[in-house]
Every structure is written in structure tokens, then in C-alpha cells.
A and B are shown apart, each in its own frame.
Chain A
Amino acid sequence: MSLLSIKNLKARIGDKEILHGVNIEVNRGEIHAIMGPNGSGKSTLAAVLAGRNEFEVTSGEVEFMGENLLDLPAEIRARKGLFLAFQYPVEIPGVSNTNFIKTAVNEVRKYRGLETLDAMDFLALIKEKSSLVEIDKSFLSRSVNEGFSGGEKKRNEIFQMAMLDPVLSVLDETDSGLDIDALRVVANGVNQLRTKDNASIVITHYQRLLDYIVPDFVHILYNGQIVKTGGKELAVELEEKGYDWIK
């Protein structure tokens, strides 16, 4: 049984259909890249998977660990192990990063039947995971993403991913706005978190990120449909020929 199975997924916002029937199968241990030009529906797909309710699914199925994902509210999807790294993480003044992450980690643990972490265990976990993305402590006591640079925001996303230990991560244009050093840090974090039991979907416009996070499969999303699927060499080919090539 695949970890995630998307079948003929159609979704719209308002009257505008954006996904016109998407099919993807993701198994544990795999990394899938979804590439596509602006407006092809990449972020919509990520948002639909995460459970954003401004998008309406009009037909199709999404199965996640054998369950109908579309029936689950967003927080349950997260607790089951779906993680979305946002393209534009919001700044939330007044909510401390530590308090936020602690609440999230404990809600997820409770759901999975694990004991909640006390302050000591939580600090130990933070120490372990923050080194993955080279986050320093001051960063954690600040308000969620408030005043963070673009790179810090993306590192915070991967840090949260490390803390929550998801089964399936969807990284929505995590490379956008990153310089090469930050990109390397972020990619390194993602690679270290990779196990044979989890999987990632890396959404990107550019091939650059895929030099660091090497995908098993590359899907090209164009105009709301997957028009081509291949191995990692497809990304290179796409980079050379441009998106015009697939039209």
C-alpha cells in the first residue's frame, strides 16, 4: 500500500478550477519532486493536502496511510504525520516560537499515544533538532517568524519538521528566496531527516534545490495536471529546455 495516493484530484477556488485531475503515488522512503511553472497549481496541491479550506475539492481521492485524507481536518492530518513547509511562513507576533512548537509537539504526541514532553525533555529535543538546521537559541524565544529573514523562516520550517517527525513532508518552494548557503543548510536538514519510513514531496520551480535533495521521482505539473513523470534526470532536462518544452 502506498503512503499517499492521489487519484484524479480536482480542486477549485471560487469558480476557478486549478487542479484538473492530478495523479501521484508516493511510497515510504521516497522523495518526489513536483516541478512546474508559476500558476501550474503546485501550491494549490500543497494547500489541498494540508487541509486549507478555501480550496474546494470537486472530485478525486486522496488516501494517506489508508485513510481518506480529505475527510480529516487539518490538525488531524498533521497529527497523523503530514507536514507542510510553507512557501511564505506567517509572522505571528506575541506567540513565542518555543511555546508554539511545544504545544504542537505535545498535541501530536498525545494523538500518537506517546507521553507529552516535560520542560526538560523538550529542551533536550530542541537541542538535538536545532543543530540540524543550525538554529540558535535566541531564535526560539522570539515570536513565531517575527522579524525573521527569509532564510530564518525557511530554517524554522525545517526545524518544526524535525521536531514533529512527520511521515510525509510537503515542502512548498522551500528554496524560494534562499541564498546558496541557506539552501545547503535547509537541504542538509531535509536529507538528515530522511528515513526508509518517511517520504517527502518537494515542490519547486527550479532544478537548483534538487542538486541538494535528490529525488527518486520528478513530476511535471502543468496547467493543473501531471504531464510528465520521470527520474531525477527529468529535472536536468527541464532546466536545459525550459518549461516551453512540455507545452
Chain B
Amino acid sequence: MNNNITKINNSKFVQSLAGQFDDYLKTYELSHEVKKLQERSMQCFTDQGLPTQKHEDYKYTKLAFLNNYDFKVNNLNVISKEIAEEFAFKGLEANILFFLNGSYLADFSKIIDEGIVFNNLNEDLENTSPEFLEEFGKSIDICNDPFLSLNTAFFMDGVNLTIEKNKKIEHAIHIVQIFDGRVEENASFPRTFIRAEESSEAFIIETFHKIGEEVTFSSQVSEVFLAENARLEYAHVQILPQSHFFIGKTFISQNADSFYNDITLSLEGKFIRNNLYAKHCGSNVETHYNGFYFASQKNYIDNHTFIEHAEPNCSSNEVYKGIISDEATAVFNGKILVRPQAQKINAYQSNKNILLSDTATINTKPELEIYADDVKCSHGATSGSLDEEHLFYLISRGISPEAAKGLLLSAFGEEIIDKIKIETIREQLSDIFEEKLAGKMQ
């Protein structure tokens, strides 16, 4: 990646946020190290400015609209237990952690399983230990991307989660991120730090929600570390109203013999930009990326994925599917980098899209950079409408064309939703998808 991000430092978005930085820092008692890190990040953010479409990574991403708002950085809001718990899965026994504008809500959160160590990041930021600083922020280059810099400059709290060695966590770990637009146009910066220790196993699902009417913006960063032989599944579920703009970046580092399964479901959202970045740091690693997006109205959903094969005998498998309707735009950019030493690897990538209208747009681009010679890589992208043969078969049985389309689209999306193994969660997400689909079929 390069740093040729065109500067528009005079943009309102950048100036307004930079102007709030000093006051924001004063609100908290941070350790010297964290303060320095955040100051450096803010400098990087203002140096880079808001990226324009001239920047390759943001080629299809129009961001100038962010200048239309007056976002306030405020993570001191509170909400009632009733409001928060609306966002929990019904009937699910789970470890649950609530966050409002990125700040931990200790009163409603609970850990029920052995083998999980949870701190909210704010505690760690005030009293940073050498061990914490050893790992935190190590998988990322904070000056590499303006939103990475911005999150690192402003985050004041977040998830600090460790799955202990040899522990298999029985229940799901549900992280509920709520954005608050009740009072003002808000900008929030959730931060998530997950460590799966040697031979541990867990399923984490992070869901994103919005309350209130004012426009809100969030820019999240997650760092995930898998030690040897760890097994982690991490789902990101975005069901956001028209008044929220979402940017999320997840960085995964995998050590030898580890298994990582990512499931990104963007079921609703005005503006969603997801970045996934996994790096193999040991051999015999397995990475799975599964994604499903449903873009409607004039919405924009963008998935940029990256897998860095840096070790031999590893595999990655990526399946992204999307339904795009109305005047919506979706972007899929799947980069696979195979370094010279990464021999005998398998990398598979597929992106399938169904366009429901003539005015829907998909920009899909595989990007394979392969420097090793003994590898198996394949990729494929499709975009089109539903299969006429399939439709006719269903219609010929008395099913209306609308219902037939619904059945086929449902099957198309459910393939990815099915990757969520906990039935209670899967069924509720499936219901949300089906309801949205039914709305489109009327």
C-alpha cells in the first residue's frame, strides 16, 4: 500500500474532528504511552485528510458527503438496560458485552463462561502494562489509512478480550455496538482487541445498531490474534438505518495451525465500508472469509478484503455474495498476496452478485499478486440476474414470479447466513434477511 492519499485538509470533516482532539484528550487520564500514540495518530489523520476517489483504495468510495455534517465526538452517553437489551438475540444464552459509542456498559454486560478474560480497554489505557503495549496495535500501521489513524486517535474504550489457552468457550460471545444519535450528530470509534491463546476455541459475534434520529458516523478497528492451534469464528453483522455511516477494519494475525472463520453480513446500511486483512504468521493456517451484502435504495456497501499468504502450507477460502437492488452500489475488492516463501498454499476466492434492477451497480475486482511458484489460486466473479431456468421451474408449479424470485434470492443469501452455526442466532438473522427480501418482492 502507499500513502499517496490526496489531501483535503481543509475539509470540514477533518477540521471539525481535529478541533475536538485536545478537549477530548483532556477528558481522560491516559498513560503517557497512549497519549503519545493518539497524538501521533491525529497527526497522521490530518496529514492524510479525507481520501478522494483518486486513491486506489477508495476508487469507488465517495466520502465528501461526510463534510455535510457536524460530528461530535462524545462517548459519555448513557442508555437504559431495556434499550440496550433490545439488541440482544432473543432466547440466546451468551456472554454479552454492550458498548455505546464505543464505551463499555458494564452494568448490563456479563461473562458466563470460564476461559474468557475481559477488560474494557479504557482501564488498560489509563494503566498500560508493558505486556499490553507489547501486543496492542502491533498488527497495524496506524498511518497507513486515514480511518485507521482517526480511530486510533480517538478511541478511548473498547473490547479487550482474551480466550485462554486450551479453553473451548461453550456459548457465543456477543459484542453489541450501539451508536447514539439521540442528541447530536455523533462520531464514534469502537476498538476491539481479541487474543485467542494457544489451542483455544470461541465464536464471537459483533452486531452494530443505531438509536436516535441524528446522523451518526463510526469508524471501527478490530485486532485479532490467533496463537498456535487456536480456532476462532468472528461474525460482523450490520443492520443499520439510513442515518448511519459505517467504516470497519479488522486485522487478523494467525499463527501456525490456527483456524479463522470470518462471516460479514451487511443486511442494511446507507454507507458501509468493511476492510478485512488477514496475515499468516505460521504454517498450516486456514482462513475463511464469508460475506453477504444486501444493498438497496441508493445505499453503498463496500467490502475490501486482503489475505496475505506469508507462510507455506496454508489455505484460504473466500466466498462473498451480494444482492443489489434499486439504485444501490456494491463494491467487492479481494486481494490475495502470496509471498515468495509461501509455497504449497491454496487460495480460493469467489464473488457472486445478483442485480435486481438496471440501475443497481456492482464493482467487483479480484487482485492476485503471486510471488511463489508452487501454489493453487483460483478466483471467479459473476454478476447478473436470476437463472431463468430456475425461475421457470418454480413458476411452472404455480408459484408466482415474485415468490419464485424470493425463494431463489433467499437461497442465495442463506448460503452465507448458514455459516453461523448457532441456530438461535442464525434463525433470527435469517428472519431479518427474509423480511427485508419480502419488502423488496412486493
Contact = CB atoms under 8 A, between A and B. Distances in A.
Interface of A: 50-52, 73-75, 78-79, 84, 86, 89-90, 92-95, 99-101, 103-104, 107-108, 111, 143-144, 160, 164
Contact of B396 (A78, A95, A143, A144): A78
Given A75-B395, A78-B395, A90-B390, A103 B411 contact: no
A99 B398 CA distance: 14
B408 interface: yes
Contacts of A160: 397
Contacts of A50: 396
B390 to A, nearest CB: 5
Contact of B411 (A79, A95, A101, A164): A95
Of B389, B395, B403, B410, the most chain A CB neighbours within 10 A belong to B395
Contacts of A92: 390, 393-394, 408, 411
Nearest to A54: B388
Contacts of B394: 92, 95, 100, 104
Nearest to A82: B396
Interface string B364-403: 0000000000000000000000010110111111111101
B39 interface: no
A52 B389 CA distance: 10
A99 B412 CA distance: 15
Given A90-B390, A99-B407, A103-B407, A164 B397 contact: yes
Contacts of B408: 92, 95
A183 B400 CA distance: 31
A194 B393 CA distance: 23
Contacts of A164: 397-398
A93 B396 contact: no
A84 B395 CA distance: 11
Contacts of A90: 387, 389-390, 393
A79 B398 contact: yes
Contacts of B213: none
A51 B399 CA distance: 13
Interface of B: 387, 389-390, 392-401, 403, 407-408, 410-412, 414-415
Give me the 5 closest cross-chain CB pairs, A-B, nearest first: A94-B411, A78-B398, A104-B397, A108-B398, A79-B398
Given A95-B408, A99-B407, A100-B407, A74 B393 contact: no
Contacts of A93: 411, 415
A170 B414 CA distance: 33
A94 B412 contact: yes
Among B392, B397, B411, max chain A CB count under 10 A is at B397
Given A94-B411, A94-B412, A94-B415, A103 B403 contact: yes
B21 to A, nearest CB: 49
B395 A86 contact: no
Contacts of A144: 393
Contact of A107 (B398, B410, B411): B398
A170 to B, nearest CB: 10
B125 to A, nearest CB: 46
Contacts of A51: 395-396
Contacts of B399: 75, 100, 103-104, 107
A220 to B, nearest CB: 26
Contact of A75 (B401, B407, B412, B414): B401
Nearest to B403: A103
Contacts of B389: 90
9 contacts: A52-B392, A73-B395, A79-B398, A86-B393, A93-B411, A94-B411, A95-B411, A104-B398, A107-B400
Contact of A84 (B396, B407, B410, B415): B396
B351 to A, nearest CB: 17
Given A74-B395, A94-B410, 19 more contacts: A50-B396, A74-B392, A75-B396, A78-B397, A78-B398, A79-B398, A86-B396, A90-B389, A92-B390, A95-B410, A100-B394, A100-B399, A103-B399, A103-B403, A103-B407, A107-B400, A108-B398, A111-B398, A160-B397
A107 B403 contact: yes
